[in-house]
């Protein structure tokens, strides 16, 4: 296989893994074949960090005419479950990738077992009767060499016999383990006779009760790669110390020489990415579930309204390297805005628990007009929609100030604004209730200023959105913001030096979800779940699954950039 004709290296610079692959291809390694794998453990939901890995693995294969396997790393039956298998497959497909084969490490249990016996026969593995505590005690520390286990020098025949009995179920959990016999003094702790098989009388989600011994990660992953003839096995930095072991097993077993390469995992500002912490958020009820739109899970981010394209673009932009990184969540937001600006239709929604009613005193009572408003100024082919207009419209409280500051271009006593797609109006009178709160604004509209046929000659600086009182459709609007108030929650938790596992919960953003009533234009009635729109001047929103035929629920995917908010923050 050769790279695509349109030389990819000219579009952007290669990351270090692409460089390795290109070197391997031009060296003729494996006849230029590229086979990667994405190896999730089916014990949790995929998140943005996995998205980076998926885009890397599948993207690499696509780019170099190769393939990618989806392989579930299911060697620990007590934590894994089919429930996760299905969600993981959904997420990968949703991101836009197809795997060559759906495989499971458990497919290889027979083969892996045979590898273990082969190692025993070479005198490179032994059965150890020590307890976990005893093994740990003899392991030494990075500065102190380990001591050999009293069982280290059992004969091949005895080891083989014991191991077969382990497999046959002769021993309870923890009674014995199989260990590789390498070097108890190695500076690499993974070389101090690592455990490669342990006894677990547990039901496996695929193999059922066929096995009561299960291989450890180090004795399963590299071998699985080799069995599949994976050419480039890509994982995160914390596996670097495992690589010598990975290579050692492959060499001792004389199997296909897959190679492991490591990249730095994704960290995002204002969120956490560890499975453990995400699980805690769900189980502690701090979010509504794995698919809560504030979660960095693919399920959550999808429900939030993000698109697969925007995520792939994000993964492309963050790059791949070996240094630790903390990506500004603003880049993710940029990627989704960029796409949604191009693709979504504009609609008007007054998102406010207490909107202000605007009464056009000189507009004939009972009269209605249909305004034709363009769906998307970025897309000339997107057409127009019909929006009913009348004597009374709702506007947002934010769009009126009784005493406006300088450069406030919205409604204020005596000030004029354009109602988007309709008329210019002037605010004449402010009506308040007993509590002194503004309830209505009495305005006059300029009949000659109708949108598209404006002969009034009046120039206004501000345009605001509105919804006809007579036609407004009520909706629930969920305004989401970053889940954490701290830029780097994982790091701050570490700095707290608390032994409390839940310390990071104190960093949650109390305002990450604000539910507000909305009045939306009738156009929106009956929109399907997952549809995306821009609420003009507010942000991008998507119809949530919680919607019912009588009640639309919108999730805010992301706000629009807001130069005015920035301006007011300054002063």
Partner RNA sequence: AGCUCGAUAGUAUAAGGGUAGUACAACAGAUUUUGGUUCUGUCUGUCUAGGUUCGAAUCCUGGUCGAGCUACCA
The catalytically annotated residue of 89, 139, 206, 275 is 275
Based on the shown chain and the rule CB under 7 A, indicate whether residue 302 belongs to the binding site for RNA.
no
Question: Each residue of 173-209: b (16+ CB within 10 Å) or e?
Answer: eeebbbbbbbebeeeeebbbbbbbbbbbeeebbbbee
Q: Which of 93, 322 has the CB closer to RNA?
A: 322
User: Does 104 engage in binding with RNA (CB under 7 A)?
Assistant: no
Smallest distance from RNA to CB 489, Å: 13
- Of the candidates 103, 81, 111, 72, the one whose C-alpha atom is nearest the C-alpha of residue 211 is 111
Kindly indicate which of the ranges 51-59, 299-307, 418-426, 505-513 contains the residues binding RNA, using the contact rule CB under 7 A.
Answer: 418-426
Interface residue with RNA among 325, 367, 439, 511 (CB under 7 A) is: 325
- Give the strands of the sheet with 195-199, arranged side by side: 125-128, 177-180, 195-199, 213-215
How many residues are there in the chain?
Answer: 571
Helix (H) or strand (E) holding 92, with range, is helix 82-95
In order of 71, 130, 342, 398, 516, the CA distances from 346 in angstroms are: 42, 68, 11, 20, 20
Among the listed residues 22, 41, 117, 440, the single catalytic one is 41
The DSSP result for 447-464, as a single string, is GGG-TTS--S----S-EE
Instruction: Give me the catalytic one of 139, 164, 200, 265.
Output: 265
- Structural tokens at position 375: 């769906």
Which has the closest alpha carbon to 93: 62, 63, 70? Answer: 70
254 is in an annotated binding site: no
Q: Is 169 annotated as a binding residue?
A: no
Kindly tell me which of 528 and 563 has the beta carbon lying closer to RNA.
Answer: 563
438 binds RNA (CB under 7 A): no
372 lies in the binding site for RNA (CB under 7 A): no
| Residue 536 is labelled as binding a ligand | no
Q: Report the chain's C-alpha Rg in angstroms.
A: 31
Residues 253-272 that bind RNA (CB under 7 A): 264
How far apart CA 73 and CA 221 sit, in angstroms, is 8
Of 93-101, 152-160, 184-192, 426-434, the segment contacting RNA by CB under 7 A is: 184-192
Single out the residue of 52, 154, 181, 221 in contact with RNA (rule: CB under 7 A).
221
Q: Tell me: does residue 195 bind RNA (CB under 7 A).
A: yes
567: tokens are: 């301006």
Q: Does 181 bind RNA (CB under 7 A)?
A: no
Distant-in-sequence, close-in-space partners of 227: CB < 8 Å, separation ≥ 6: 108, 111, 255, 256
Task: Kindly identify the residues of this chain, within the stretch 139-168, that bind RNA according to CB under 7 A.
Answer: 139, 141-143
Q: How far is the CB of 75 from RNA (least distance, A)?
A: 4
Query: Contacts with RNA in 1-60 (CB under 7 A)?
Result: 13-16, 19, 39, 41
Q: Is 117 annotated as catalytic? A: no
Q: Phi/psi zone of residue 213: left (φ > 0), alpha (ψ -120 to 50 degrees), beta?
A: beta
The smaller minimum CB distance to RNA, of residues 52 and 478, is found at: 52
Residue 275 annotated in ligand binding: yes
Identified binder of RNA from the candidate list 116, 537, 542, 554, rule CB under 7 A: 537
Q: Give the range of 288-296, 428-436, 513-521, 531-539 binding RNA by CB under 7 A.
A: 531-539
Annotated binding residue 274 = yes
Q: Is 123 left (phi over 0), alpha (psi -120 to 50) or beta?
A: left
Nearer Cβ to RNA, position 3 or 319?
319
Residues within the annotated binding site for ATP? 41-43, 47-53, 236, 265-266, 273-275
């Amino acid at each position: 296989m050769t790279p695509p004709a349109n030389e990819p290296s000219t579009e952007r610079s290669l990351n270090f893994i692409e460089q390795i692959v290109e070197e391997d291809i031009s060296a003729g390694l494996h006849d230029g074949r590229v086979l990667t794998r994405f190896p999730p453990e089916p014990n949790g939901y995929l998140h943005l960090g996995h998205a980076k890995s998926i885009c890397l693995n599948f993207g690499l294969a696509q780019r170099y005419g190769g393939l990618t396997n989806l392989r579930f790393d299911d060697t620990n039956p007590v934590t894994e479950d089919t429930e996760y298998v299905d969600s993981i497959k959904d997420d990968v497909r949703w991101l836009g990738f197809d795997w060559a084969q759906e495989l499971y490490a458990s497919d290889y249990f027979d083969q892996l077992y045979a590898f273990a016996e082969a190692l025993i026969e070479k005198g490179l593995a032994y059965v150890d009767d020590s307890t976990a505590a005893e093994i740990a005690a003899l392991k030494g520390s990075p500065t102190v060499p380990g001591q050999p286990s009293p069982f280290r020098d059992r004969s091949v025949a005895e080891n083989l016999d014991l191991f077969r009995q382990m497999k046959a179920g002769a021993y309870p959990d923890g009674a014995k383990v199989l260990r590789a016999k390498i070097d108890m003094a190695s500076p690499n702790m993974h070389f101090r006779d690592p455990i490669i098989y342990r006894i677990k009388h547990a039901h496996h989600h695929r193999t059922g009760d066929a096995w009561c011994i299960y291989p450890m990660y180090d004795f399963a992953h590299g071998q699985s790669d080799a069995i599949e003839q994976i050419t480039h096995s890509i994982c995160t930095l914390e596996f670097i110390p495992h690589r010598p072991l990975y290579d050692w097993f492959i060499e001792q077993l004389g199997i296909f020489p897959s190679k492991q390469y490591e990249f730095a995992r994704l960290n995002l500002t204002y969120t956490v990415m560890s499975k453990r912490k995400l699980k805690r958020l769900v189980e502690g009820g701090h979010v509504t579930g794995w698919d809560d739109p504030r979660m960095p899970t693919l399920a959550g981010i999808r429900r939030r309204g993000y698109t697969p394209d925007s995520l792939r673009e994000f993964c492309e932009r963050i790059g791949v390297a070996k240094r630790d990184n903390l990506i500004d969540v603003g880049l993710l937001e940029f990627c989704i805005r960029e796409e949604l600006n191009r693709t979504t239709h504009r609609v008007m929604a007054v998102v406010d628990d207490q909107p202000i009613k605007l009464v056009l005193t000189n507009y004939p009572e009972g009269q209605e007009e249909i305004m034709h408003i363009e769906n998307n100024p970025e897309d000339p082919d997107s057409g127009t929609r019909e929006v009913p207009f009348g004597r009374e419209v709702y506007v947002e409280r934010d769009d009126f100030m009784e005493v406006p500051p300088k450069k406030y271009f919205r409604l204020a006593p005596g000030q004029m604004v354009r109602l988007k797609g309709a008329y210019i109006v002037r605010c004449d009178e402010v009506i308040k209730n007993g509590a002194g709160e503004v309830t209505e604004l009495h305005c006059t509209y300029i009949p000659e200023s109708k949108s598209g046929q404006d002969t009034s000659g009046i120039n206004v600086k501000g345009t605001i959105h509105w919804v006809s009182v007579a036609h407004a459709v009520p909706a629930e609007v969920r305004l989401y913001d970053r889940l954490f108030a701290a830029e780097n929650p994982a790091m701050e938790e570490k700095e707290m030096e608390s032994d409390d596992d839940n310390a990071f919960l104190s960093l949650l953003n109390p305002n990450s979800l604000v539910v507000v009533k909305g009045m939306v234009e009738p156009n929106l009635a009956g929109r399907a779940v997952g549809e995306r729109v821009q609420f003009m001047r507010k942000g991008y929103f998507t119809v949530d699954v919680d919607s019912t035929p009588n009640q639309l629920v919108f999730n805010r995917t992301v706000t629009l950039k807001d130069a005015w908010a920035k301006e007011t923050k300054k002063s």
